[in-house]
Amino acid sequence: MAETTEKPSLNFIEQIIEKDLASDKWGGRVQTRFPPEPNGYLHIGHAKSICLNFGLAQKYNGSFNLRFDDTNPIKEEDEYVEAIENDIRWLGYDLDGKVLFASDYFEQFYDHAITLIKKGLAYVCDLSSEETREYRGTLTAPGKDSPYRNRTVEENLDLFERMRAGEFPDGSKTLRAKIDMASPNLNMRDPVMYRILHAHHHRSGDKWCIYPMYDWAHGLEDSIENVTHSICTLEFENHRPLYDWFLDQLGVFHSQQIEFARLNLGYTVMSKRKLLELVRDKHVRGWDDPRMPTIRGFKRRGYTPSSIRTFCERIGVARMNSRIDIAVLENCIREDLNKRAPRVMCVLDPLKVVIENYPEGQTEEMDAVNNPEDESAGSRKIPFSRELYIERSDFMEDAPKKFFRLAPGREVRLRYAYFVTCTDVIKNDAGEVIELRCTYDPATRGGDSPDGRKVRGTIHWVSAHHAADIEVRLYDRLFNEENPDKTPEGKSWLDAMNPESLTTKANCKLESSWIEAANAVSWPDGINRVQFERTGYFCVDQDSSDDKPVFNRTVTLRDSWAKIQSKS
RNA sequence: UGGCCCGUGGUGCAAUUGGUAGCACGUCUGACUCUGGAUCAGAAGGUUCUAGGUUCGAGCCCUAGCGGGCCAGCCA
C-alpha cells in the first residue's frame, strides 16, 4: 500500500474547474456565486450550495458573490434578505460587505432586451397566460406560433417601451424570445422574458412595472458579474440551452452553468413551499423551530456552524438524486460537540433517592471533570447530599443481567461521588416506584473503592436540594416517513408528520454548578451548549429565563443500551 | 408516440480518465473506560441495473433494454 501520494479525489465540478484552469479558459479566474431568492429562509440544502460555491472560490483562489435573485416583487421581502445574510454569516462565511442584487441590473436587462428585439429575436405577445399555455403544446406535441410572433421590430420596440411605461395592465402583454415553438425542450418554445406586474419591489420600489423572468435574468446576472462557473441544481438542467441561447445571441460574457443534485435528507422535507406551509399553518413554531431543516432551526437546535460545514463536505457533490441518512449529520454534530461541549449532570426524568446512612443536613463538594476530551476545560465542584435524584430509567426492579444500573441489592457508582446500593423500593398506591432507599460506602468517595471492588454501572445524579428546575425539550424526526414527498394514494405529505417530534419535560433537575457558571461558557455565536452526561448534547433555548431555564436537545449520545433493548 | 439527466456494498461518495473496486456513515465483534459516551483494533457486506458489443483487458467506450429523476408558471 503506497500511501505516500494520496491523490485528492475531486468531485466532478472540481474536475471541470481544474480542466478550465489547465486550458486557461477563464484566464485563471474562478468566480462563483450563491443566488437565493429572498422569499424564504435558508435550509440545509442551501448550506450545501453555499459551502460548495464558497469552498470552490476559496480553494481555487477565486471569489464568491452573494447575489439576491430578486426578480419577482410579489414574493420577495427585505426580512428575508436580512435573514439570509445572517444565516450565511453564522455558517462562517464572510461576505466582506459584498452583497449584490439582481434588481440593480434591471436597466441593463432592459437594454439587452431592446437589443434582442432589434435583432428580431424577441417580440411582444398579447396572448393571455392561458392562451400561452395552449399555444405551447405538450411534452409530446409541438406548440404553435403566437399570432403576434411576426410583429415588426418597430412595433415591438414601441410596444415594449409602452409596457415599461405602464400603459398596459398586468398580464395583458409579455415580451417573448423568438426561438422555436417545436423544440422538444419546452423552455425553448418562445419563453417569456418579461411580464407586466404593477407591484412594489422591495428595493426598486415602483420604478418598474415589468419584471424579468428567471431564465432571462439569471444568465445575465452571471454574465454581468463575470461568474465563471454558475452552479445550480439539477432541475435547471433543461434550462441550460436557454441560458446559453440568451448569452450567445447577445454576445456577452458567457458563464458556464453546471448542475448538481440538491440535498435530500431523510425524514424531513426540503422544499421552500412545504417549509413555508409548516410555518404558516403552525405545524411547527416558526422558521427557527429546532425541528426544521432550516439553518435557523439547526442553530436553535444547537448545531454548530462547523458541524454543518463538515456535513456539507462529507456528503459530496454529484449528479445523482440521493437522500442522505440523517445519521451522517448527527455524526458530524456529535463529533464536534464531543470535543467542545462542557459536561454537566442533568436528570431528565427524576426519581428520588435517599441515602439512608448519609448524615442528614450534610453536604460535600465533589470534583468533576468538565470535559474529558479537553483538559483545558478544567474541573468543577458539585454538591452531594443525602437526598438525590437519579434518572428513572437508571433503575429497574426486575433487572436483566445485562442491565448495569441500579436495581434492588445492586451496587452502582454515582459519577464522581460514591458507590451506592439499593436497599428498598418505595411505591405509591398505584404501584409506581416513587423513591429509592440506598446506602453508600463512605470509603468510595470520589468514585473508587480502596478494596478494588468494581461496579459495572456509573450513573448520573444531582443533589435534590441543590438542583435547578429546568425545562428540557426533546426533539425527534419531524416525519415518520423517510421520504415524506412520496405520499401514498389519497394521503398528504402532512399525514406523514410525527406527532411526537417534540416532547417537553418540565421538571428536569440540573446540576447547580452549571447555573452558577452559565455565562462563563461562551460560544462564538452566543449559543450555550453542553453535554448532559449520558443523555446527549443540549443548548440553552432563547425562551430561557433566569427563573426558568429551557434547554433543547441537540442530539442524543450514541446509546448502546438502547440498541441492546431494541433488539429484544 | 417527446427531450434531457442519472444507475458502483444498507446509505452517501471515490476509482490516477481503459489495467478486475476504495473511503465515510451505518452494521457486527473485541479492547479500554468513573459517560453503556469518547477512543482503539478488527470483521462482514459489491456478478459496478440487465443483455449484447468494441478491446489483450470495461465500473469507465458503443448499442438496446430496464429502473429512477426533471420539464407543459406571465415562479425561481
Give the pLDDT confidence of A149-183 residue by residue, as tens digits. 999 999 999 999 999 999 999 999 999 999 999 99
| CA A3 / C1′ B15 distance in Å | 15
Yes or no: say if A406 and A457 are a contact pair by the CB < 8 Å rule.
Answer: yes
pLDDT of residue A487: 79
Tell me the nt nearest to A235, Cα to C1'.
B70
A15 beta carbon to strand B: under 7 Å? yes
Residues of A noted as catalytic: 37, 262, 272
| CA A566 / C1′ B44 distance in Å | 21
List b or e across A199-226, with b for residues whose CB sees 16 or more CB atoms inside 10 angstroms. eebbbbeeebbbbbbbbbbbbbbbbbbe
| Residues A144/A146/A152/A155 CA torsion (nearest 10 deg) | -170
Nucleotides of B under 7 A from a protein CB: 1-8, 10-17, 24-28, 34-39, 68-76
A319 beta carbon to strand B: under 7 Å? yes
| CA A312 / C1′ B46 distance in Å | 26
* Residue at minimum CA to C1' distance from nucleotide B39: A373
List b or e across A49-88, with b for residues whose CB sees 16 or more CB atoms inside 10 angstroms. bbbbbbbbbeebebbbbbbbbbbbbeebeeebbebbbebb
Mean pLDDT of the region A326-330? 97
| Residues A243/A244/A250/A255 CA torsion (nearest 10 deg) | 90
pLDDT tens-digit series, residues A267-298: 999 999 999 999 999 999 999 999 999 999 99
Give the torsion sign (CA, A486, A492, A496, A498).
Answer: positive
A148 beta carbon to strand B: under 7 Å? no
Determine the Cα–Cα distance for residues A285 and A298; give it in Å rounded to an integer: 14
Tell me the nt nearest to A343, Cα to C1'.
B35
Is A231 in a helix, a strand, or coil? strand
pTM above 0.90, yes or no: yes
A375 beta carbon to strand B: under 7 Å? no
pLDDT above 70 coverage of chain A, percent: 98
A324 beta carbon to strand B: under 7 Å? yes
| CA A444 / C1′ B64 distance in Å | 76
Strands A502-510 and A468-475: antiparallel
Evaluate if residue A266 carries a pLDDT over 70.
yes
Residue with cell 415580451: A175
Yes or no: say if A304 and A335 are a contact pair by the CB < 8 Å rule.
Answer: no
ipTM attached to this prediction:
0.96
| CA A501 / C1′ B73 distance in Å | 35
pLDDT above 90 coverage of chain A, percent: 92
Determine the Cα–Cα distance for residues A63 and A29; give it in Å rounded to an integer: 9
Instruction: Find the angle CA(A304)-CA(A64)-CA(A110) to the nearest 5 degrees.
Output: 125
Taking the stretch 457-476 of protein chain A, residues with Cβ within 7 Å of any atom in nucleic acid chain B are 457-459
List b or e across A474-486, with b for residues whose CB sees 16 or more CB atoms inside 10 angstroms. bbebbbebbbbee
| CA A6 / C1′ B3 distance in Å | 41
Mean pLDDT of the region A40-54? 97
pLDDT of residue A515: 75
Give me the helices (H) in A191-239, please.
214-224
A307 beta carbon to strand B: under 7 Å? no
Evaluate if residue A489 carries a pLDDT over 90.
no
Nearest to A143 by CA among A85, A111, A191: A191
DSSP letter for A396, please: -
Give me the helices (H) in A201-260, please.
214-224, 240-250
A314 beta carbon to strand B: under 7 Å? yes
Instruction: Find the angle CA(A491)-CA(A493)-CA(A499) to the nearest 5 degrees.
Output: 100
Evaluate if residue A302 carries a pLDDT over 80.
yes
Yes or no: say if A559 and A550 are a contact pair by the CB < 8 Å rule.
Answer: no
Reported as a pLDDT band with limits 50, 70 and 90, residue A4 is very low
Tell me the nt nearest to A415, Cα to C1'.
B34
Strands, sheet with A343-344, edge to edge from the N-terminal-most edge strand: A343-344, A529-532, A536-540, A550-556, A468-475, A502-510, A346-347
Evaluate if residue A5 carries a pLDDT over 60.
no
pLDDT tens-digit series, residues A97-120: 889 999 999 999 999 999 999 999
Mean pLDDT of the region A490-511? 95
Give me the helices (H) in A239-304, please.
240-250, 272-280, 295-301
DSSP A20-65: HHHHTTTTT--EEEE---SSS--BHHHHHHHHHHHHHHHHTT-EEE
Nearest to A403 by CA among A263, A561, A545, A264: A561
Mean pLDDT over each residue of chain A, to the nearest integer: 95
Evaluate if residue A513 carries a pLDDT over 90.
no
A367 beta carbon to strand B: under 7 Å? no
Evaluate if residue A382 carries a pLDDT over 60.
yes
Nearest to A168 by CA among A178, A177, A158: A158
pLDDT of residue A526: 93
Yes or no: say if A117 and A160 are a contact pair by the CB < 8 Å rule.
Answer: yes
pLDDT of residue A7: 59
Q: Which long-range contacts (CB under 8 A, 24 or more apart) does A430-437 make?
A: A433/A351, A433/A392, A433/A395, A433/A397, A434/A351, A434/A352, A435/A351, A435/A352, A435/A353, A435/A354, A436/A351, A436/A352, A436/A353, A436/A354, A436/A390, A436/A395, A436/A406, A437/A353, A437/A354, A437/A356
